[in-house]
Structure 1
Amino acid sequence: MNCNPEISPDVTCAVCGGGIAALCLRLARARPRPRPLPGPAEDTGGAAAAAASAAASPARAPPLGSAAAGSEPPVPRCEERRPGHGRPGAAEGRSGAVAGPGPSADSRVPPAGTAHEALQERYRLGSLLGRGGFGSVFAATRLSDGAPVAIKRVPRNRVRHWGELPDGSRAPLEIVLQAKVSTGFPGVVQLLEWFELPNHIVMVLERPERCQDLHRVIRARRFVPEEVARELFRQVLEAVRHCTSCGVLHRDIKPGNIVLDLATGQAKLIDFGCGTYLQETAYTHFAGTPSYSPPEWTHFGWYHGEAATIWSLGILLHQMVCGEH
């Protein structure tokens, strides 16, 4: 995986590829403003974007279920607390597969109690890509065909919301939502497979081999030229429209949750950890990054999903063309 924080002209041209490669040259020629690259303070809830913006290295990786894989972070701020969504007890271990483009999930589903062994048999764990309130994300390689993937590992006792998959089985809400939108649409990162271990939920996600998250693009280049921003923003709008058509509200749209596939120029929406089901009535629980929340939430304690999405999209577009939140 080649995702350098500073984008060279040749790599930047590959960001958009095809019909808008010339536009990407403008992005490459934009003079970067010297400043540190770490993400903004409000970006703690979306660190899963690092799964698509750091280099993979399989050497000396700890087992996924071990304590050596990293200490667990605090509970995310985007957690929405409502009664009746917890699920007591630990599972023996199971897995499920979700069809999608790119590296497809293995159709074999291991029996209960062998999910951990199946995970180790199918994937070679690489470097830690990111850690936040959600848990940890690792680069990994699927052993059957060498395809790059991202493995997201979430402590099971921090899963507060559960839902139902099409086959009637129960799963964490993030997985249910991700499965809903993983229908082959290229603008949303695809869920390939998931495992329920005694102490962790593990998701195997699509990972472009060369990619860069939009937050790093903006910081490295100072701003995104309007012609390029227009095309990227159009792709994000299509991804949001796809999610809402599937009945899913993302609730955490920001540059750090948008990944650019450098080989195809495709923008991909990632991290549904703050998502929920789309509803017409107002929401009275907030989930997401506070600085992207709509004013009605701040002043009145409620918001409508689609209106709040438009608000966060406006902030995103301003960040792209102005380089500032």
Structure 2
Amino acid sequence: MMMGPRDGRRFVGLGGRFELVDHMGSGGFGDVWRARDAMLGREVALKFLALDRLAGPRPDPERVRQIRERFARESLIAAKVDSPYVASIYDCDMDNETPFLVMEYVDGEPLNAHVGITPLPLARTCRWSGQIAQGLAAAHDQSVVHRDIKPGNVLVREADSDVRLVDFGLSRFVDATETRSAAGTPLYMSPERCRAEPGDERSDLYSLGCVMYEMVTGWPPFGDTRADPVALTQAHQNKAPTPPRARVAGVPPTLEKLIMTLLAKDPQHRPRNARAVVHAIKEIEQDLDASGAEQRAHGPAPGSDASGNGFADQLSAAELTVRRLIWKHGQDHALVITARMELADLTGHSGDVRGAAELYDRLGQDCSTWFGPGHSRTLDAFEGMARWVSA
């Protein structure tokens, strides 16, 4: 139960176990807080159920009881999911009769901070997509369907750039407590979910296809955040998405084929399960590695020290180096600029020439803002972009 302020702080849970630290956001489900678990000495995320909204303006006591019981059951089911790519659920507690989840706190930012307008490098797209698919496979093994896969429910950890899926089971809970429509986000909803049908594991795969489409093109398959939700649901049910390679150059045919298969209108025409998607992505990564090896056989670009296959690990380490240098020195430091150039070259030698050009382009624009369009660092960055464009 709520213990009240102590020295300007608030405590919730039995015996005031959890100290509320930061309000992280609000949504249809309720409020999310970063908190400290006094018993175990770790940071956690608390998700409070918006009981007043779900129960209605004049809640019936029996309905409130049923909502609480269902919330506890769904939390128990979702807590069975065990994967390094799914945020763990530790507990379910109560604050002044308002239930809340105690979850793993993920220090990072949502995937939607990385996608939009500009396509992601192919190696990063494959890495994050494969991790999402592995998380889905672990959940589906426990008969847990997410029902709201979208960039906002995929967190990218600051420490290692790995992803964590969040909010498993919450959409099924909302489905059971709301009668107007199925829970979900229209930009990423499967056709069957758009028809307010329960959906199954392959509904999650369709949503993953929408997220992957946005990674490789910069846009979801239909519309954007300003689009009419009704028009979006109609598009998911009736409109064929434009193939990614018709929107941007450099998407491997095998990656395009996987995305378009995930976006099949009929669930039976999608991959049979998430593990099949994991396998397909691994094959695409092997093709990218082979392409990178072939490029090295024709001579590496100046400044590149990439050697051997396994570019996913090398790129992850390079991205981590950039983030650490930014944290230590600031974004416009010479060491950061050099590290970003090395990351761009490594991306190109992995086989993602388009991604390398885009990384250099972004660096050139940043340097132009910081130092001016004629500065040597700006010119070096745009020269690197031109080198990869010509490649």
Q: TM-score, normalised by structure 2?
A: 0.45
1:227 aligns with 2:127: no
Q: Which runs of 5+ in 1 are unaligned?
A: 1-57, 65-115, 164-168, 277-283
Following superposition, the deviation at residue 320 of structure 1 comes to 1.3
How many residue pairs get matched?
Answer: 200
TM-aligned CA distance change 1:252 to 1:296, over 3 Å: closer
Partner AA of 1:177 in structure 2: I
- State the partner residue of 1:214: 111
- State the partner residue of 1:248: 144
- The answer to whether the 8 Å contact 1:151/1:204 transfers is yes
Rounded to whole Å, the distance in 1 between the matches of 2:45 and 2:212 is 27
More strand by percentage: 1
Identity fraction in percent? 27
More helix by percentage: 2
Rounded to whole Å, the distance in 2 between the matches of 1:144 and 1:150 is 15
- The answer to whether the 8 Å contact 1:148/1:207 transfers is yes
Partner AA of 1:310 in structure 2: L
- The answer to whether the 8 Å contact 1:177/1:275 transfers is no
Rounded to whole Å, the distance in 2 between the matches of 1:214 and 1:59 is 36
Rounded to whole Å, the distance in 2 between the matches of 1:285 and 1:138 is 27
Following superposition, the deviation at residue 141 of structure 1 comes to 1.4
Secondary structure of residue in 2 paired with 1:172: helix
TM-aligned CA distance change 1:146 to 1:286, over 3 Å: same
- State the partner residue of 1:191: 89
Q: Which runs of 5+ in 2 are unaligned?
A: 1-5, 56-62, 174-179, 221-391
Q: For the pair shown, which has the larger CA radius of gyration, 1 or 2?
A: 2
Q: 1:1-325 maps to which residues of 2 (within 5 A)?
A: 60-64=8-12, 116-118=13-15, 120=16, 122-157=17-52, 171-181=71-81, 184-208=82-106, 210-219=107-116, 222-272=118-168, 273-275=170-172, 286-298=182-194, 302=197, 304-325=199-220
TM-aligned CA distance change 1:291 to 1:170, over 3 Å: closer
Rounded to whole Å, the distance in 2 between the matches of 1:59 and 1:215 is 36
Partner AA of 2:24 in structure 1: L
- The answer to whether the 8 Å contact 1:179/1:191 transfers is yes
TM-aligned CA distance change 1:192 to 1:235, over 3 Å: same
- The answer to whether the 8 Å contact 1:126/1:139 transfers is yes
User: Higher RCO, 1 or 2 (CA under 8 Å, sep at least 6)?
Assistant: 1
The two structures, once aligned, show a CA RMSD in angstroms of 3.2
Q: TM-score, normalised by structure 1?
A: 0.54
Secondary structure of residue in 2 paired with 1:138: strand
Deviations 1:216-272 (A, max 9, x none): 1225x9332111110110000011111110011100001100111221332111012
